[in-house]
Amino acid sequence: MNLNWIIPAEGSGGRFVIFKSRRPCWFTAFCFYIMQTTENIINIEEIDALIKSQEQPDLAYIREILKKAENLSGLTEKEAAALLNTNAPDLLSELFKTSAIVKERVYGKRIVLFAPLYLSNECTNNCLYCGFRRDNKDARRKTLTINEAVGEAQFLAQKGYKRLLLVSGEDIKSSNIDYLITVINAIYENTDIRILHINAPPMKTEDFRRLKETGVGVYQSFQETYHSETYRKMHPSGMKKDYDFRLSTMDRAIEAGFDDIGMGTLLGLYDFRFEALALIQHARYLEQRFGFGPHTVSVPRLQPASGAVINDAPYPVSDTDFKKIVAVYRLAMPYVGIVISTREPKELRNEIIKIGASQISAGSRTNPGGYTTTNTEHRTPNSEEQFETEDHRTLDEMIQVVSNSGNFPSLCTACYRRNRTGKDFRILADKGDMQRYCLPNALLTFQEYLIDYASDETKNIGQKMIDDAAPKVEQRDFRERLERIKKGERDIYY
Ligand code: SAM
Ligand code: SF4
C-alpha cells in the first residue's frame, strides 16, 4: 500500500507538504491527526493577507466598525485587522472609549483581582525568553512541597485573596499531574481560597480529565506565538518544541471537560497584529467546534528575565499598541475576561482598567515560595523569578486604585461554583446579562474584604462605594445578604 501523509515543511510557516510513505505507523497517524486539527485552527496566509489589505484603513470604515461593535456584535477578522492598523490618535481614543463601553455592558463596572502562585521553576524546556529555561544554570531550582504550597496559599488567603492562579514549569519528575492534583486538593482542603485556576504545561487528554476532576476553574496556556517559524526558533528543545501539539492544547482540554479556558500570546516575539488576529481566529475555531471560545485572554508582554537568551523583544510592543490590542480583543470577543498582569507598569495598569480589561493580578511574586520566603515590602531581584514584575502594589493598594478609577473591586468566584461556565456563561455574557450577577457579587465580596482584611483608608473609601451602589442592585434580597455578611456570615453569592 502506498499512502500519502502530510507533514509540515521545515521553514514553511505552518504550510504542509505531502510525504510519501510505504509503511504508515501509529505515530505517523497520530501526527496526521494533530496536524489535520492544527491546519484548521489558523490560516497564516489569510492573516498575512488581511493585515496587508487593511494597512491604510479608511476613517469612515473605522467609525462604522466602532459603532457596530458597541452593540456587542464582535468583529470580523477584516474589521479587527483594520483596527489593529489604526494609528491616528483621535481614532485610537474613540477605540478605547468603545472598548470601555463594551466592557461595562458585559461585566458592569467591576474588576476582578487575583494572584499567581508559582509552584515550580524546574523546567525541561528551553524557551529563549524565560528565566526558568533548562539551560539557565544560574537559576536556583525549587518545587514547593505540598505543605509549602498550602503555606503560600494560606498566606495569600490571609491577605484577602479568594482566587489564585497556579503556575508551573514543565518537568514530569517534579511537577507532574499527580503532584498538581495533590497540591490542588490540599489547597482546597486547608485554606480559604475559593477557586484555583492553573497555567500548567499542555497535557494529554486523560491528564486534563484528571486535572478537571479536582475542581480547578480555568485551564490557561499561552500559544506564545502563532507564527510557526518564530515558534520553532523560540522553543529549541523539550516538549514545548512541538508547535502543533501546543496549538491543539485547547482542543484536548475541552474534550477532557474544561469549559473555561484561558489563551494568550507572549507579546514582543512577533508582529502583534499577526498574533492578535491569529488568537481571534483560534477563538473562532473553538467557538465553531465546541460552542464557546476562551473564558479569558491574557496579554503577557515580554519582560527581561535573569538567565534568558532573549531580553529585548524582537518585535517591541509600545504602550499604545498594548492598549490597542486589549481594545481589539474586547470588541472582537466582548464576553472574554481580559487579564492584565503585574508585568505591566503601574501607570499603564491604572489606565487599562478603564479601557476594557476586566481582571488584574496584584502583589504578585513569580518565584516558587515568593510570598512566604521573601520580603514583600523591600523587593530585590531574585534568581528564582520567572521574569521581572513592574507593578509591586499590594492587594489593598490595588483595591484602592480600582475604587478610585470608578470601578468596583471584585473577589468574586461565583460563576465557577454556580456552573455559569462554557456555553452557559457565553450566552449570558453575549446578552449583556452577566453584569446582573457581577455587580452584586463584587459588592458582597468587597464587603467581606472590608470587614476582614482592609486598611482603614480602604475601609472608608469602600464602605461609601458599597452604600452608594446598593440601591442600584436589582436583586431584592441584596440588602439582606449584605447585612448577613456584616453579621459574620461568609461566601454569599448569586
Ligand atoms: N511552563 C508553562 C508554559 O510555558 O506553558 C506554564 C507556565 S509559564 C511559567 C507562563 C507564561 O509565562 C508563559 O506561557 C509565557 O508566556 C510567560 N513568560 C515566560 N517568560 C516570560 C518573560 N520573560 N516575560 C513575560 N512573560 C513570560
Ligand atoms: Fe519552562 Fe514555561 Fe518557562 Fe518555557 S515558559 S522555560 S515551558 S516555564
pLDDT digits (tens, 9 = 90+) for 433-469: 888 899 999 999 999 999 999 999 999 999 999 999 9
| pLDDT at res. 430 | 77
Bridge-partner residues for 115, per DSSP? Answer: 164
pLDDT digits (tens, 9 = 90+) for 318-361: 999 999 999 999 999 999 999 999 999 999 999 999 999 999 99
pLDDT digits (tens, 9 = 90+) for 363-420: 999 999 999 986 554 455 455 777 888 999 999 999 999 999 999 999 999 999 998 9
Tell me the average pLDDT across 172-193.
97
The residue that leads in pLDDT, 35 or 47, is 47
Cβ atoms within 10 Å of 416's Cβ, excluding its own: 21
| pLDDT at res. 29 | 57
Pocket test for ligand 1, best of 199, 364, 367 (most atoms within 8 A of CB): 199
Which ligand is in closest contact with the Cα of 235?
2
Long-range contacts of 280-283 (CB under 8 A, 24+ apart): 280/75, 280/77, 280/80, 280/329, 280/332, 280/333, 281/41, 281/42, 281/43, 281/46, 281/47, 281/77, 282/41, 282/42, 282/223, 282/226, 282/247, 282/250, 283/332, 283/333, 283/336
| pLDDT at res. 406 | 94
CA of 125 to the centre of ligand 2 (A): 6
CA of 447 to the centre of ligand 1 (A): 34
pLDDT at 431 over 90: no
| pLDDT at res. 457 | 98
Q: What average pLDDT does the structure give for the chain? A: 91
pLDDT digits (tens, 9 = 90+) for 58-110: 999 999 999 999 999 999 999 999 999 999 999 999 999 999 999 999 999 99
Q: Is 11 exposed, middle or buried (0-12, 13-18, 19+ CB in 10 A)?
A: exposed
| pLDDT at res. 434 | 86
Tell me the average pLDDT across 133-138.
96
Cα separation, 272 vs 249, whole angstroms = 21
| pLDDT at res. 211 | 98
Q: Are 453 and 159 in contact (CB under 8 A)?
A: yes
CA of 339 to the centre of ligand 1 (A): 14
Which pLDDT band, with edges at 50, 70 and 90, does 33 fall under?
low
| pLDDT at res. 39 | 73
Cα separation, 365 vs 167, whole angstroms = 11
Cα separation, 209 vs 207, whole angstroms = 5
| pLDDT at res. 385 | 75
- Domains, the chain, with CATH or none: 3-41 (no CATH), 115-389+410-416 (3.20.20.70)
| pLDDT at res. 128 | 98
| pLDDT at res. 185 | 98
Residue nearest to atom 16 of ligand 1 (CA): 266
Residues in the chain: 494
